[in-house]
Chains A and B, each alone.
Chain A
Amino acid sequence: MKILVCISHVPDTTSKINFTESDTKFDTNGVQFVINPYDEFCLTRAMWFKEKQGATVTIVNVGGAETEPTLRKALAIGADDAIRVNVNPTDGLQVAKELAAVVKNGGYDLVLAGKESADYNGQMVPGMLAALTDFNFINGCVGIEVDGTTVSATREIDGGNETISSSLPLVIGGQKGIVEEKDLRIPNMRGIMMARKKPLQVIDPVGGEASTNVQSFEKPAPKGAVKLVAADNVDELISLLHNEAKVI
C-alpha cells in the first residue's frame, strides 16, 4: 500500500498571535512551528500500517523552505520520504490543487490528511482533495482498518459514530481517535539521524490558483473583566445569567 500523509506546518498552540504590515501578514517572529496536531494522528496511523501490514509512507507539504524542519521531524517519526511543493499557498483550494497533482502522479492508495489545520482551521483541504482526485472520501475519521483493497472506517457523527466500508483509493480527513494521543510518536535520536539522509524532494507547483485572499486580520475586541460573585451567593449568579446575559 502506498500512503501519502499531508503535513501542515502550523504555529504551536501556545503561540501568541500577532500581525504585521498593517495587519495583513501573520507575524512569525518568535513563533514555534510544529506538525499540525491532526496530521500527527494521521502520521502515527500511517506508521502503524507500515509496521504491521507493510506500506510505504510519503509525506507532503505545500509550502516554502521554512517548512522543511517540520518535514524532517515527520521523517524522524518514520515516514520514508518527503515531498515539498515549493509555493506559499494563500488558500485551501490552492493547497488542494497542488496536493491533487502530487496524488495523481504518485499512484497512492490511501491519502491521510488531518481534518483541519490548527492555523486557519478551514477544514477544506481533505474534501477538496477528494473531489479533485475523485478518490473516495471519509470525513471526521476516528478509526480505519485496511484489508487488501477493502477499508472499514469509523467516522464521528452528531451524537455517535458511523461505521463505513469503502474501497481504495481513499482520502481520509482524520482526527483524534484514528490513534489515541498516548500512542503519538515522538522522534528519537536514531530517527532524527536517519531522517537527515531520507529523500526530501522539492517540486515545482502546478500553478493551482487560489480563489480567495486575506485582506486583513484582526483580533477580537478585548474582553471586559470577569464579574465575580461570592461563593455563598449563587442567587446573584442566576440573576446575572437570566437578566443580564439572558442565557437562562
Chain B
Amino acid sequence: MSVLVFAESSEGKFKKTALEVVSYGKKVAEQLGTNVVALTINASDSSELYTYGAEKVVAVSNDSLNTFNAKQYAAVVTEVAKAENATVVVVDSSIDGLYLAPIVAVNLEAGCASNVVAAPSNVSPFTVKRKAFSNKAFSNTVIATDLKVIGLAKNSYGIHENAVAGTTEAFEATVVESGVKSEKIERVTGKVTIADADIVVSAGRGLKGPENWGMVEELAEVLGAATACSKPVSDLGWRPHSEHVGQTGKPVAANLYIAIGISGAIQHLAGINASKVKVVINTDPEAPFFKAADYGIVGDAFDVVPKLIEKLKAFKAS
C-alpha cells in the first residue's frame, strides 16, 4: 500500500503545487499508516521532494512526455500507481493537473474527488472536504471505492516541511498513443502568470482606460505579482483575456489579492474567493468588495496606488 502523488515540474523545476501535493500526500500517508511515493516526469533532480516527506521518488524520463498530454500523462500515473500498489493517488490543480485526476480515476476504476481543500477528516469512510458552488460552500464527500483519486485545490493545504531520507528510482514508463499532437507552444515569457503567482494585483473599470495600467504593472512589479483584471476590462480590450479573473475567467487562489477599482460583483468574487487575503481600493465605500475584503482603503486609485508603490519600494529596500 502507498499514497502516490504526481509532482509536476516545468522545465525540470518543481512547481509550488508539486511541493503542496507532496506535503498533502505525506499527511494522508500518515493517516493511513503508509508511505508517500512521488512520481516525477522529466524533472532533473527530485531530492527537493524528500524535504516534504517523499521517501521514495519514482522518476520517469522520456522525451515523448516533454509536453503535457492528458491521456499520456494519465497512463503513466496509472502505471506507476499500479506498480506502487497505491490506494490513494493525489494530483494538483494546475491548469494541466486538473485533467489528470478524472482520467486516472477511470483508468484505475477509482472514485475521484476534485477541488479537495483539506486532509481527510476521516479515512474510514474516506471523507474529504471540497469546494463547491464557486467557493460559496463546501461539500464533505465520501469516496466509497477501495482506490481513491484526489485533486487537491491550489493553495488549500499549504507547503509543510517534513524532511525524510529519500531515494529516487528510475522508472521506464509506457507511452501510450494519444491521438492528439502538440504543434506549437506560445508562452508569454518573463511575466508571473496568474496561476503561479502568490500575489495578484488586479484592476477594474474604475481605472478608466488602458493608458492607466502603468501604475498597476508597477505595483505588481514591486510585489513580484501577476496582473489581472475584471471582465469588462478584458471585454473592452484594455487588457488581454488571459488576465480576466472570475467565474467565467480564471480562478485565483493567491495569498494576496489586491483589487483596485473593482466593484466586487458576485461573479468576480466567485473567482477570487479562494485567495487568502484580499485588499480593496475603491472610491465607493458601498462597493460590495468591501464586504469580501480583509483590508480596504476608501480612496481614489489615482491617488492611493502611486503612494503605495512609493512606500512599498521603501519597505522592500529597508
Contacts and interface: CB of A to CB of B under 8 A. Distances in A.
B255 A218 contact: no
Given A128-B105, A242-B315, A177 B185 contact: no
A125 interface: yes
A56 to B, nearest CB: 23
Instruction: Report, as a range, how many residues of chain A touch the other chain.
Output: 35 or more
Contacts of A160: 185-188
Q: What does DSSP make chain B's interface, helix, strand, loop or mixed?
A: mixed
B307 A234 contact: yes
Interface stretch (B39-47, B108-116, B157-165): B108-116
B179 to A, nearest CB: 4
A132 interface: yes
Interface in A91-121: 91-93, 96, 118-121
B143 interface: yes
Instruction: Report, as a range, how many residues of chain B touch the other chain.
Output: 35 or more
B212 interface: no
B134 A13 contact: yes
A21 interface: no
B247 interface: yes
Contact of B99 (A92, A140, A213): A140
A22 interface: no
A159 B256 contact: no
B141 interface: yes
A180 to B, nearest CB: 8
A159 B95 CA distance: 10
Given A226-B295, A234-B307, A241-B277, A162 B182 contact: yes
B184 A92 contact: no
Contact of A226 (B99, B270, B294, B315): B294
B119 interface: no
Interface of A: 11, 13-14, 17, 19, 37, 91-93, 96, 118-128, 130-132, 135-140, 152, 156-167, 170, 173, 176-177, 181-182, 211-220, 223-224, 226-232, 234-235, 237-238, 240-242, 245, 247-248
